[in-house]
Chains A and B, each alone.
Chain A
Amino acid sequence: MLRQVIDRAIVEETPEREYYDLNLGPSHPAMHGILENRVKLDGERIVDCESHIGYCHRSFEKLAEHYSYNQVLTITDRMNYVSAMANNIGWTLAAEKLLGIEVPKRVQYVRVIMLELNRIIDHLVRVGILGVDSGAYTGFLYFFEQRERSYKIIEKLTGARLTTTFGRVGGLDRPLYPEFKEDIYEWIGPLRKVLKEFHTMLTRNRIFIERLRDVSPMNAERALEWGYTGPMLRAAGVEYDLRKHEPYSSYEDFDFEIPLGGTGDAYDRYMVCMEEMEQSIRIIEQAVENLPEGPHHADVPEVYLPEKKDVYSNMEAMIYHFKIIMHGICPPAGEVYQAIEAPNGELGFYCVSDGGPNPYRLHFRSPCLYYYQSIEELLRGGLIADAIMTISSINVIAGELER
């Protein structure tokens, strides 16, 4: 910290110096996604930084105004592509809140399991990439094997790996497959082992610690001012977790802890993420253990599509089918904000309905955007190597950042 302050002072005193301009990105191996940072360098020290976003903008919010409530799900797949299901679940929760639907416990528990599973696969990548960017490639591949195993479960559950479109407004799109519980148990064992292995490889590694310690620190006050949430805020020592503070989807049923950091530097972020994975495993274990029996959707025939065989045999089902397909799901006019604790922060869905079948206005609060706003402050004063570690430690997903 002190070093950076002094360096900044030196730099400010000599404004007539010439600097070296360098484009970090948009195509650079460590700019995950397509982020552009134009940095001014004094040797290897970043004197100033100018950040540009927009290379991955696909105008999802506008697009969503022309989609029905279930179709919006397919857009959310493509937002945070590292943990696609978290977005799906967040959106279904928002739509259900708007419609005033209470889904059965079983659905809520399955959502919790999948949210936590997605938190784990997100953190696996995030922490693994931190290793890659610091030069330790091997741990990343250990994690990727685990991630692959998670994808097997996701694929079995939804039929897709990335574009999961998991769940529907009012429940799940299909019942759980029979051996779901066993699959989860089988998945947890090796995952725990690999986490331990990764800890031995990097957590106490002197080089790794020195690469991350005091890199782009962000104190609690400043982090709150920037609108940080999720692991980034917790790394700064603020105990804020939507799963505890505004429980949704039965999070109040589970026993878990919120790992906290102190200085909010890259190492704290790393440690918070590593610990969050352990906590997520705990939550998954509890949820699978106590998974209640019951239907896989709420009893809301005007929202949830009836089964196909009923449509052909049952008058009422056919009418509802016709209504939902032709007129869509029409929530009452109003507005709603539903946020979930997505893997990289508070993922919010602000939806305005005018009573029609499409959202009148939709806004996604993507956590990345709030982190990335502060990138110039984070990078300034550091070295190029620090910039790389900073960008991989804040886990910016371009697809979510720019939507």
Chain B
Amino acid sequence: MSEIGAFLLEKTVVGSVMFGVTLGVVAYATLGERKLSGFFQDRHGPNRAGPWGLFQPIADGVKFFTKEEFIPDRANKALFVIAPTFTFMAAGFLIAVIPFGDRIVVNGREILLQIADVNIGILYILAISSLGVYGVITGGWASNNKYSLMGGLRSSSQMISYEIAMGLAVVALLIDHGTLSLRQIVLNQTGPIWQWSVFTHPLGFIIFYVSAFAEAARIPFDLPEAENELVGGYHTEYSAMKFGLFQFGEYTHMTLASGLIATLYFGGWSIPWLTAPAEPTVWWGLLTFAVFWIKTFFFMFVFIWVRWTLPRFRYDQLMGLGWKKLIPLAVLNILAMAAILIATGGAGME
């Protein structure tokens, strides 16, 4: 097989597996959310479709596709249809750079368990995840509904504010690691458990985590769709699969945000004290793959746990937290990190 052909085959297989697994996880995240909320609230959650409600996501999918597609009379039809796909695509593109596992060697060919190990991975993530807000604000505006518009506006200002805090938190991380490649960041964290960035960047981690909640628009930051205030927020007028795509996009965002937290701060696919074998087999690949997902599941669980525990912020409090607390803290974090690195002449300074 020619080199190009092998490359294409490798990327096709890896890409479809990663994409498929992630979307499967996302679909089951909806079930997980409902089951866990049931657990937190002393009730059963879905338990009719299949054993333990396991076919619920499939039933939901069928329902979304067969429901009536309603478009409000005065809506801007083109934008109304495009908006949910935009949100979903923006979330889906993130899959490309997440390192799901270590490299493996098959028949002497080195294969990365990552769709693309681009050297600007973090920049790519920050850029693409910001695009998601366009879907939300377009949908909010195109619905021609006052509540939707307010939801869209809230969402745009919220995402822009927390994007900054998130970016600044990552900057401190980059100063330390000296690379934008996600795979390299994971490799830097292998070894003993205190190599994890969460121990070297506790403040940055907190800022990043809070911002990730805000980015994913989940309680306590779910103001764009605060159902008690704005009915359904930006997706008030959406129904059927268009609504489904918004939901799917939201859960994809949550899943990938959890994956990103695991990657940046908790060693990604690496296992503490365990170094990769010189000739990594498929089993090693599967192990790292599983470790990545276990870490990700934990953060998804926290996302869900928080949602069913905390109340939500008020709009001005949310902005206050973002601009008056998180951003100054993040700047402080960068300065402190830079100072420490200069003082110790640490890594990433070359």
Contact = CB atoms under 8 A, between A and B. Distances in A.
Interface stretch (A81-89, A131-139, A327-335): A131-139
A138 to B, nearest CB: 5
B222 A211 contact: no
Contacts of A44: 150, 315
Interface of B: 37, 40-43, 146-147, 150, 219-220, 222, 226-231, 308-317
A320 to B, nearest CB: 51
12 contacts: A30-B228, A44-B150, A132-B228, A134-B312, A135-B311, A137-B41, A205-B310, A211-B312, A211-B317, A383-B315, A383-B316, A386-B314
Interface of A: 20, 22, 28-30, 44, 131-138, 141-142, 145, 201-202, 205, 207-208, 210-211, 383-386, 388
B222 A135 contact: yes
Contacts of B317: 207, 210-211
B41 A142 contact: yes
Given A210-B313, A384-B315, 11 more contacts: A22-B146, A22-B147, A29-B227, A134-B228, A134-B312, A135-B220, A211-B312, A211-B313, A384-B150, A385-B226, A385-B229
Contacts of A383: 314-316
Q: Is the interface of A mostly helix, strand, loop or mixed?
A: helix
A23 B146 CA distance: 9
A202 B314 contact: no
A133 B228 CA distance: 5
A208 B311 contact: yes
B231 A134 contact: no
Contacts of A145: 42
Contacts of A384: 150, 229-230, 315
Nearest to B40: A138
Nearest to A131: B311
Given A29-B227, A207-B220, A388-B229, A137 B312 contact: no
Contacts of A134: 228, 311-312
Contacts of B314: 210-211, 383, 385-386
Contacts of B220: 135, 207
Contact of A138 (B41, B227, B229, B312): B41
Contacts of A131: 311
B229 A137 contact: no
A49 to B, nearest CB: 15
A131 to B, nearest CB: 7
B146 A20 contact: yes
Contacts of B40: 138
A384 B227 CA distance: 12
B231 A207 contact: no
A207 B146 contact: no
Contacts of A208: 311
Which 6 residue pairs spanning A and B have beta carbons closest together?
A: A135-B312, A134-B311, A136-B311, A141-B41, A30-B228, A385-B314
Contacts of B41: 137-138, 141-142
B43 A141 contact: yes
Query: A20, A385, A388 — which one has the most chain B CB atoms within 10 A of its CB?
Result: A385
Contacts of B37: 138
A131 B42 CA distance: 17
Contacts of A29: 227-228, 231
A207 B313 contact: yes
Contacts of B231: 28-29
A30 B42 CA distance: 24
Nearest to B309: A138
Nearest to B320: A210
A136 B41 CA distance: 11
A29 B40 CA distance: 23
B227 A202 contact: no
Nearest to A212: B311
Contacts of B311: 131, 134-136, 202, 205, 207-208, 211
A137 B304 CA distance: 13
A260 to B, nearest CB: 25
Nearest to B227: A29
B146 A135 contact: no
B229 A207 contact: no
B101 to A, nearest CB: 36
Contact of B228 (A22, A135, A138, A141): A135
Contacts of B312: 134-135, 207, 211
A138 B308 contact: yes
A20 B150 CA distance: 11
A207 B310 contact: yes
Given A136-B309, A136-B311, A210-B314, A30 B229 contact: yes
A383 B318 CA distance: 13
